[in-house]
Amino acid sequence: MFDNVKFLVLWLTNDCNLRCKYCYANGGDKKEYMTFKTAKQALEIPKSKFKLQLAGGEPLLNFKLIREIYEYLKINKPEIKIQMQTNGTLINSEIAKEIKKMNISIGVSLDGNIEINEQLRGGTKDVINGIRALAQEGIMVNLNCVVTDKNIEYLHKLVDLAVYFGNVGGIGLDLLRNTGRACNNDLKRANHFQIRKHLKEAYNRTVELRKLTGRRIIIREIEDARKRIIEGKECTMYCHAAYGGSMVVHPDGNLYPCGSLGGSEKYYMGNIYNLASQREVKINNNKSETCKMCKYEKICVGACPARNIINSEGAEINIEDCTLRKAAFEIIEEEIEKNRRN
122-178 pLDDT, tens per residue?
A: 999 999 999 999 999 999 999 999 999 999 999 999 999 999 999 999 999 999 999
How many structural domains comprise the chain?
A: 1
336 is a domain residue: no
What pLDDT digit, counting tens, does each position of 265-290 carry? Answer: 999 999 999 999 999 998 876 677 77
End-to-end CA distance of the chain: 55
| 154 belongs to a structural domain | yes
Residue with more model confidence, 1 or 259: 259
pLDDT of 314 > 90? The answer is no
CATH number for 52? 3.20.20.70
Look at residue 211 in the predicted model and tell me its pLDDT.
96
**In this structure, is residue 55 part of a structural domain?**
yes
Is the pLDDT at 239 greater than 90? The verdict is: no
Query: Is the confidence at residue 309, as pLDDT, over 90?
Result: no
The range of the structural domain enclosing residue 191 comes to 7-231
Beta bridge partners of 10: 54, 249
Which strand ranges, in their side-by-side order, compose the sheet holding 105-109?
Answer: 218-219, 168-175, 141-147, 105-109, 82-86, 51-56, 7-13, 246-249, 255-256
With a CB cutoff of 8 Å and minimum separation 6, the contacts of 209 are 159, 160, 163, 215, 217
Most confident of 25-39, 57-71, 173-187, 314-328: 57-71
Classify residue 232 as left (phi > 0), alpha (psi -120 to 50) or beta: left
pLDDT at residue 81 tops 70: yes
Q: Is the pTM of this model over 0.85?
A: yes
Residue 78: partners with Cβ closer than 8 Å, 6 or more residues away: none
- Rounded-to-integer distance, Cα 244 and Cα 225, Å: 25
pLDDT at position 90, please? 98
Averaged pLDDT, 99-113: 97
Neighbours of 266 (CB within 10 A): 7
Look at residue 193 and tell me if it is in a domain: yes
Give burial (CB, 10 Å; 0-12/13-18/19+) of 102.
Answer: middle
Asked, for residue 118, whether it belongs to a domain, the answer is yes
Whether residue 286 is contained in a domain is answered as: no
Q: Is residue 260 part of a domain?
A: no
| Residue 341, in any domain of the structure | no
